[in-house]
A and B are shown apart, each in its own frame.
Chain A
């Protein structure tokens, strides 16, 4: 059974067509990276999968059920979303914020049950944020905040976790920490789909990579298959040298200028 199936998806912002016939299917809980040049449609694809944007044509199915047949609340029980830009200007504690992840399971006047409190504690422990429970989110660092928002998405108990550039503004320590954290989630049966800017991080952490170009999936597959000189030149209009990461045995990329640049070895 496929966890996520996208079938011939088209989307436009006004006249501008951004997604032009996207189709793919994932049947295992893997970590899937989406890379591509700015404006290639990565974020738009995520938002179409989550249902925030309504596709012009085509279908998205979760566990073989069309998302059109879900209510907004039902959908939130299957998809967790960690957006790119976050607002922090409010006084909620981290605990309150993570508890909001239980909204899809609560009726309007229902107060939080023991079950909800247990789940919130569990996901805050998984993301190592339980110690921040009484703190205001404003007091945390960028990486810590990101973990709180991941905890909230996990409190939704989703089958699919969508992330839009979750590490772009973080330092290297937090980048590794966050990506290791979400990679572990795939072992718990969650399909993680993340837009990433750093090709090398994508290569290191993702089981599969999509390269997007002009609203289409140009190529997909494991990092070794996808990250080739030709593909990267096509997608990003830049020439690169490709090495092998000695630890993960995945491709590691250096940009070069017209292929003539001498790599400066220190």
Chain B
């Protein structure tokens, strides 16, 4: 069993490396693998060098890390909220970010202003949801879920209103909310990758505790797990990671929902294995989705959220049906 899991890890990791190379290679200008290697080693033609190092590489790295971050947060939120429908956006982060982004776009702020606004408003939203759900020292997960849904609905209404009032910016706002890495440069990679990487690691430290919480909060506490502390840390760090991911890539749906599920079907429910596997799988999935977003309707780029949903949805359904058949066969 352990040997089989290491094979899954190795294969998925190789797939990630392959996808990243493929994504660097493909596009308006095709750059062969040999040339990519040359560029990494310091040679290669000037123009290809520029394309790879300042355009494609940051983009590929960003999409991989955003995919990783969203998947890790998704896995933890599903465990913490004990709800298979949970994803990184369930606490209202996405609608908060969309609200901030909408304002930034209407005010005509640049890419940095937009990222910053999205980041700040998403954190404010989560903080609000968290405060509502707190009674005494305990935080009710059910209340959090419901408050998140209510806030999301409210924010979406405001965003729609703002879009109608600012019709000229309509398509930019819609485009942003469906996600994409078209504007990514090293400037975003530099701050977002460390946040996602460190945040994911901090959450990973608590994976055994989240295993216990999955079997019931009260039971977990009696097993010696400080559930309130673990919940707070995961919620805060998870929100930070998600807000960071959203601020650079927009609201990319489905990744944080299905990657943890698919990973669970492959490596089982133990978060100590599930989380690192989700991280690699999520990075692979989003890098591949970004590649498709760039090349499917070349030279036009389509929002990555469309790709993640059209490919992720049916694949997830297939896995659900397969696992259903498997359990019926027993």
Q: Are B215 and A100 in contact (CB under 8 A)?
A: yes
Nearest Cβ in chain A — how far from B97, in angstroms? 30
Q: Are B269 and A92 in contact (CB under 8 A)?
A: yes
**Does A247 lie at the interface of the complex (its beta carbon under 8 Å from any beta carbon of B)?**
no
B169: chain A residues at CB < 8 Å are none
Q: Are B212 and A103 in contact (CB under 8 A)?
A: yes
The residue from A52, A72, A96, A152 contacting B270, defined by CB atoms under 8 A apart: A96
Count of A-B contacts judged by CB separation below 8 Å: 70
Q: Of the 9-residue stretches A30-38, A82-90, A254-262, which lies at the interface with chain B?
A: A82-90
**Does B224 lie at the interface of the complex (its beta carbon under 8 Å from any beta carbon of A)?**
yes
CA distance A100 to B223 in the complex (A): 7
**Does A5 lie at the interface of the complex (its beta carbon under 8 Å from any beta carbon of B)?**
no
CA distance A151 to B225 in the complex (A): 18
Q: Are A86 and B222 in contact (CB under 8 A)?
A: no
Q: Are B223 and A79 in contact (CB under 8 A)?
A: no
Q: Are B211 and A92 in contact (CB under 8 A)?
A: yes
B222: chain A residues at CB < 8 Å are 50, 52, 76, 79-81, 83, 153
Binary interface profile of A, 148-178, with partner B (CB < 8 Å = 1, else 0)? 0000110010000000000000000000000
Chain B interfacial residues counted at CB < 8 A: 21
Binary interface profile of B, 259-289, with partner A (CB < 8 Å = 1, else 0)? 0000010001110000000000000000000
**Does B208 lie at the interface of the complex (its beta carbon under 8 Å from any beta carbon of A)?**
yes
A85: chain B residues at CB < 8 Å are 216
CA distance A89 to B216 in the complex (A): 10
CA distance A52 to B222 in the complex (A): 7
Pick the most buried of A87, A96, A108: most chain B CB atoms within 10 A of its CB.
Answer: A87
**Does A101 lie at the interface of the complex (its beta carbon under 8 Å from any beta carbon of B)?**
yes
Nearest Cβ in chain A — how far from B225, in angstroms? 7
**Does B205 lie at the interface of the complex (its beta carbon under 8 Å from any beta carbon of A)?**
yes
Nearest Cβ in chain B — how far from A141, in angstroms? 16
Binary interface profile of A, 85-121, with partner B (CB < 8 Å = 1, else 0)? 1110111100011001101101011000000000000
CA distance A79 to B222 in the complex (A): 8
CA distance A74 to B208 in the complex (A): 17
B142: chain A residues at CB < 8 Å are none
Q: Are B223 and A104 in contact (CB under 8 A)?
A: yes
Q: Are A156 and B223 in contact (CB under 8 A)?
A: yes
Known: A92-B215, A96-B270, A103-B208. A87 touches B223 (CB 8 A): no
Nearest Cβ in chain B — how far from A183, in angstroms? 22
CA distance A195 to B299 in the complex (A): 70
Name the CB-closest residue of A to B221. A52
B216: chain A residues at CB < 8 Å are 83, 85-87
B131: chain A residues at CB < 8 Å are none
B211: chain A residues at CB < 8 Å are 92, 96, 100
Taking residues whose C-beta sits less than 8 angstroms from the other chain, chain A's interface range is 20 to 34
A74: chain B residues at CB < 8 Å are 224
**Does A75 lie at the interface of the complex (its beta carbon under 8 Å from any beta carbon of B)?**
yes
Q: Are B223 and A76 in contact (CB under 8 A)?
A: yes
Nearest Cβ in chain B — how far from A75, in angstroms? 7
Q: Are B205 and A108 in contact (CB under 8 A)?
A: yes
The residue from B208, B209, B221, B269 contacting A91, defined by CB atoms under 8 A apart: B269
CA distance A127 to B140 in the complex (A): 34
Q: Are A52 and B215 in contact (CB under 8 A)?
A: no
Q: Are A97 and B215 in contact (CB under 8 A)?
A: yes
Q: Are B212 and A100 in contact (CB under 8 A)?
A: yes
CA distance A62 to B221 in the complex (A): 18
A81: chain B residues at CB < 8 Å are 219, 222
**Does B226 lie at the interface of the complex (its beta carbon under 8 Å from any beta carbon of A)?**
yes
Q: Are A90 and B215 in contact (CB under 8 A)?
A: yes
Nearest Cβ in chain A — how far from B107, in angstroms? 45
Q: Are A73 and B224 in contact (CB under 8 A)?
A: yes
A213: chain B residues at CB < 8 Å are none
A91: chain B residues at CB < 8 Å are 264, 268-269
Name the CB-closest residue of A to B212. A100
Q: Are A92 and B214 in contact (CB under 8 A)?
A: yes
Nearest Cβ in chain A — how far from B88, in angstroms? 20
B269: chain A residues at CB < 8 Å are 90-92, 96
A42: chain B residues at CB < 8 Å are none
**Does B82 lie at the interface of the complex (its beta carbon under 8 Å from any beta carbon of A)?**
yes
Nearest Cβ in chain B — how far from A15, in angstroms? 14
Nearest Cβ in chain A — how far from B234, in angstroms? 15
A216: chain B residues at CB < 8 Å are none
CA distance A181 to B208 in the complex (A): 29
Nearest Cβ in chain A — how far from B277, in angstroms? 14
CA distance A152 to B205 in the complex (A): 23
Closest 4 CB pairs of A and B: A76-B224, A81-B222, A104-B224, A73-B224
* Pairs A–B under 8 Å by Cβ, sample size 24: A52-B218, A52-B222, A72-B224, A72-B225, A74-B224, A75-B224, A81-B219, A83-B216, A83-B218, A83-B219, A86-B216, A91-B268, A92-B214, A92-B269, A96-B211, A96-B269, A100-B212, A100-B215, A101-B223, A103-B208, A103-B223, A108-B208, A109-B205, A152-B223
Other CB < 8 Å A-B pairs besides A76-B223, A77-B224, A89-B82, 5 of them? A81-B219, A87-B219, A91-B268, A91-B269, A103-B209
Interface residues of A (CB under 8 A from B): 50, 52, 72-77, 79-81, 83, 85-87, 89-92, 96-97, 100-101, 103-104, 106, 108-109, 152-153, 156
Interface residues of B (CB under 8 A from A): 82, 205, 208-209, 211-212, 214-216, 218-219, 221-226, 264, 268-270
